[in-house]
């Protein structure tokens, strides 16, 4: 094995490199500008799925309201872009020039106070990163300090997503209502609607995704990552080992929120508008499906999950629009029942051993290290029909029984 190979194996980078090649080389070469922009849009969902790997896969906190954070990030960016697009010159025909068009339509004569700071790009960036975290922190403190978890937490996040959607739609004059914030044009004078700009934004999006992937990897490789796994299994034991369990849950929930918000902001930039349809309960659940399909414990799986489901959605809903929702539902049930560890689990169980067998020894560093960051863990549902897994666990119980007997002889 060469030097580069050993470096890559040591830091388990090969799958990151493969993904980087796909995102930065294969996609831009293979796709035209329109399709590339679409892949860029799919990749913004990968941020949310990555956040869910952290808080659901590792932390055991199923949030059905991640669209809220995606939306917060997206709306922050949209507010900045909208203000730039609503310069007095551009909006001269309005009865109040200089405010966003939808405000004018709703008889607002003044920019609301909370829109003011979004004139500043620096403030917008900080808001994208911090606002969702603060919101997640408030929800987290309210829930986790009271030890609300599991299904109850999922339902509450779902309710939060519903509430936020209703709020956005209801407050049309302040939020753009059901249409969202549309007709976004420039970022600091740079037209984001051109093909060239969209290509550049695609790469910016890819780089940010990798920053988040590495941040996520740092978290799960730290002791905090192991604590999350421990908490998922034995919350009481962690508590009685002297840890304040709720603070760790709040942290990982906030981290997931921030990562989702980055995706939301990039979505707005690449798609050119933001609307409540990306915030509500429906999209929030779809995002969970991206994560589940990729593999709950695989940070890279989240990216593939988001890509595959969205690609399927686009091509499927083009030809069979009515059937798509059923297909999506079936997909989710199928994943949970048949392969709880998603694509990552399938890769580890079937493809990796095959690759190891047929790829020459010299290139093993490309395929040997783990695709999932952790070995498969049986899903919380009892449905662990994945062949190897059930075999493993039955072997384990046998082993431990034997262990008991052999120790009796000591």
- Residues near other proteins, by CB under 8 A: 218-219, 222-224, 226-227, 229-230, 233-234, 236-245, 247-248, 251, 374, 377, 396, 399-401, 403-404, 406-410
Cα distances from 114 to residues 111, 118, 268, 400, in angstroms, run 8, 8, 19, 61
Nearer to other proteins, 32 or 233 (CB): 233
Is the separation of the CB atoms in 342 and 335 below 8 Å? yes
d(CA 283, CA 45): 10
d(CA 130, CA 5): 39
Backbone angles phi, psi at 181, to 5 degrees: -100, 110
**Rounded to the nearest whole angstrom, what is the least distance from the CB of residue 92 to other proteins in the complex?**
51
Residue whose C-alpha is closest to residue 124's, from 82, 87, 79, 186: 79
Nearer to other proteins, 19 or 213 (CB): 213
**Rounded to the nearest whole angstrom, what is the least distance from the CB of residue 157 to other proteins in the complex?**
21
Q: Long-range contacts of range 34-39, CB-CB < 8 Å, 24 or more positions apart?
A: 36/198, 36/199, 36/202, 37/198, 37/199, 37/202, 37/270, 38/314, 39/202, 39/307
Nearer to other proteins, 147 or 193 (CB): 147
d(CA 50, CA 59): 13
The radius of gyration computed from the CA coordinates of the chain, to the nearest angstrom, equals 23
Backbone angles phi, psi at 191, to 5 degrees: -70, 115
Backbone angles phi, psi at 331, to 5 degrees: -60, -45
Nearer to other proteins, 382 or 410 (CB): 410
Q: Where are the alpha helices (DSSP H) in 222-280?
A: 223-233, 235-239, 245-271
**Rounded to the nearest whole angstrom, what is the least distance from the CB of residue 232 to other proteins in the complex?**
8
Nearer to other proteins, 83 or 143 (CB): 143
**Rounded to the nearest whole angstrom, what is the least distance from the CB of residue 62 to other proteins in the complex?**
18
Which burial class, exposed, middle or buried, applies to 371 when counting CB atoms under 10 A from its CB (0-12, 13-18, 19+)? Answer: buried
d(CA 305, CA 301): 6
**Rounded to the nearest whole angstrom, what is the least distance from the CB of residue 376 to other proteins in the complex?**
10
**Rounded to the nearest whole angstrom, what is the least distance from the CB of residue 380 to other proteins in the complex?**
13
Task: Tell me how far apart the terminal alpha carbons of the chain are, to the nearest angstrom.
Answer: 45
**Rounded to the nearest whole angstrom, what is the least distance from the CB of residue 387 to other proteins in the complex?**
19
Nearer to other proteins, 84 or 374 (CB): 374
Nearer to other proteins, 187 or 230 (CB): 230
Any idea what DSSP says for residue 351?
A: I
**Rounded to the nearest whole angstrom, what is the least distance from the CB of residue 396 to other proteins in the complex?**
6
**Rounded to the nearest whole angstrom, what is the least distance from the CB of residue 382 to other proteins in the complex?**
16
Q: Where are the alpha helices (DSSP H) in 272-386?
A: 281-294, 299-319, 324-338, 342-346, 352-358, 364-367
**Rounded to the nearest whole angstrom, what is the least distance from the CB of residue 241 to other proteins in the complex?**
5
**Rounded to the nearest whole angstrom, what is the least distance from the CB of residue 401 to other proteins in the complex?**
8
Nearer to other proteins, 248 or 304 (CB): 248
Nearer to other proteins, 119 or 234 (CB): 234
Which burial class, exposed, middle or buried, applies to 23 when counting CB atoms under 10 A from its CB (0-12, 13-18, 19+)? Answer: buried
Nearer to other proteins, 146 or 188 (CB): 146
Nearer to other proteins, 188 or 407 (CB): 407
């Amino acid at each position: 094995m060469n030097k580069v190979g050993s470096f890559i194996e040591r830091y388990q980078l090969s799958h990151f490199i493969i993904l980087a090649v796909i995102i930065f080389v294969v996609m831009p070469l293979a796709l035209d500008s329109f399709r590339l922009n679409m892949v860029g849009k799919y990749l913004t969902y990968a941020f949310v799925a990555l956040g869910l790997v952290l808080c659901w896969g590792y932390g055991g906190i199923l949030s059905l309201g991640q669209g809220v954070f995606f939306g917060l990030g997206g709306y922050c960016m949209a507010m900045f872009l909208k203000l730039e697009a609503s310069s007095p010159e551009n909006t001269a025909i309005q009865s109040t020039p200089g405010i966003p068009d939808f405000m004018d339509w709703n008889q607002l004569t003044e920019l609301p106070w909370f829109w003011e700071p979004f004139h500043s790009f620096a403030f917008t960036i900080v808001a994208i990163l911090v606002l969702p975290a603060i919101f997640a922190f408030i929800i987290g403190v309210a829930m986790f300090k009271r030890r609300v978890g599991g299904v109850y937490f999922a339902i509450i996040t779902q309710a939060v997503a519903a509430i936020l959607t209703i709020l956005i739609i209801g407050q049309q004059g302040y939020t753009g209502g059901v249409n969202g914030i549309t007709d976004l044009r420039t970022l600091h004078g740079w037209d984001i609607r051109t093909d060239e700009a969209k290509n550049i934004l695609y790469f910016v999006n890819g780089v940010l995704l990798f920053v988040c992937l590495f941040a996520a990897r740092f978290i799960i490789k730290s002791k905090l990552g192991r604590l999350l796994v421990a908490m998922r299994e034995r919350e009481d034991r962690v508590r009685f080992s002297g840890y304040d369990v709720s603070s760790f849950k709040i942290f990982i929930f906030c981290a997931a929120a921030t990562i989702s918000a980055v995706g939301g902001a990039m979505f707005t930039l690449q798609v050119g508008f933001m609307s409540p349809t990306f915030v509500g309960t429906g999209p929030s659940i779809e995002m969970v499906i991206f994560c589940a399909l990729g593999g709950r414990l695989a940070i890279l799986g989240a990216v593939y999950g988001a890509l595959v489901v969205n690609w399927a959605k686009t091509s499927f809903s083009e030809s069979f629009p009515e059937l798509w929702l059923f297909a999506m539902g079936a997909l989710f049930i199928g994943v949970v029942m048949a392969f709880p560890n998603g694509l990552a689990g399938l890769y580890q169980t079937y493809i990796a051993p095959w690759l190891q067998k047929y790829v020459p020894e010299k290139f093993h560093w490309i395929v040997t290290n783990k695709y999932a960051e952790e070995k498969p863990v049986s899903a919380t549902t009892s449905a662990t029909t994945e062949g190897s897994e059930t075999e493993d666990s039955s072997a384990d119980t046998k082993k431990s029984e034997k262990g008991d007997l052999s120790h009796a002889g000591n």
